[in-house]
Copies of this chain bind each other. A is one copy, B any other.
Amino acid sequence: MIDFKGVFPPVVTPFTVNGAFDTKALKFNLEKYVETDLAGILVSGSFGEGAYLTQAEKVAVMKTARTVIPEDKLMIASTGTETTAGTIELTRIAADLGADSALVITPHFYDGLMDQATLIRHFTAVADASAIPILLYNVPLYTHLNMTVETILSLSSHDNIAGMKESSGDVVKIASILKSAPAFQVLTGSGSAFLGALTIGAIGGIMGIANLAPNEMVQMMNLTARGDIEAAAAIQRSMLAPNKAITTGYGVAGAKAAMDMLGYRGGHVRAPLVDLDSGSKDKLRAILQEADLLI
């Protein structure tokens, strides 16, 4: 079984001013990430505007990424769609293109009908059909669905479900899962609750803030591992404001603008999302400076 321990950025998908996928910019960013101690990369996730990509574009992103990501780092592909058949198909393509694992979001358009039995059926069918290990993706912020601890525990016994990305930010939930399934690999999706997640047993995180601050997030993990909670907490508190700015604040447009400021190539977002105006950029720059990410 793959070891998912570590920090993973859910990389942004850079677009040109005309809205086209900017292959060069993605490569540029990935080349910087692979020189750090990041454990791997997630492509086409919700932070990568995956909901705005066609299937052909997702294929292009995976192909590009795998050329840069070396074998000793993991490439996780986000392959969830609204249908079971569509998810199985995209997961098959991801495996063919060299993804090490597939992250599968809960289908959610008919969220009122996605009862726990339905979710179990869906994930089981996808995991049964997949050539690579599956990670469950629970993200109530976007799906308005919350997989219960019972559902997660039930799925955790599947041979091909390695773990999950838990993005509710609820550390009690992570604790409850690990109490009953200590070997299940839980990665938090919350950059603000990273320390809390680690102390209760999460093995790492797939967090938007790792696009901006990969080294700081890796360091937080190392400090926690050797029991230096105070130093880890200092980094955690320092990351709160930038993390908020690029999630509930400005969203992915904020992340892209921040990356531009920090020497990456964030590029443009797709409409209806909108790039940051200059006033917002000034505020964001001040937040990055206050957090010592920008000098």
Contacts and interface: CB of A to CB of B under 8 A. Distances in A.
Interface of A: 19, 46, 51-52, 82-86, 107, 109-114, 118-119, 121-122, 125, 141-142, 144, 169-172, 175-176, 178-179, 190, 192-193, 195-196, 199-201, 224, 227-229, 232-233, 236-238, 240-241, 248, 251-252, 270-274
A109 B237 contact: no
16 contacts: A51-B110, A52-B109, A84-B270, A110-B273, A112-B248, A114-B272, A119-B272, A121-B271, A121-B272, A122-B271, A175-B192, A175-B240, A179-B241, A196-B199, A196-B200, A199-B199
Interface majority SS on A: helix, strand, loop or mixed?
A: helix
B85 A270 contact: yes
Contacts of A122: 271-272
A85 B170 CA distance: 36
B200 A172 contact: no
A173 B107 CA distance: 29
Contacts of A125: 271
Contacts of A110: 51, 142, 251-252, 273
Copies in the complex: 4
A147 to B, nearest CB: 13
A236 B114 contact: no
Given A109-B46, A113-B251, A227-B229, A83 B142 contact: no
Nearest to A19: B85
B201 A83 contact: no
A107, A178, A193, A196: most-surrounded residue (chain B CB, <10 A): A196
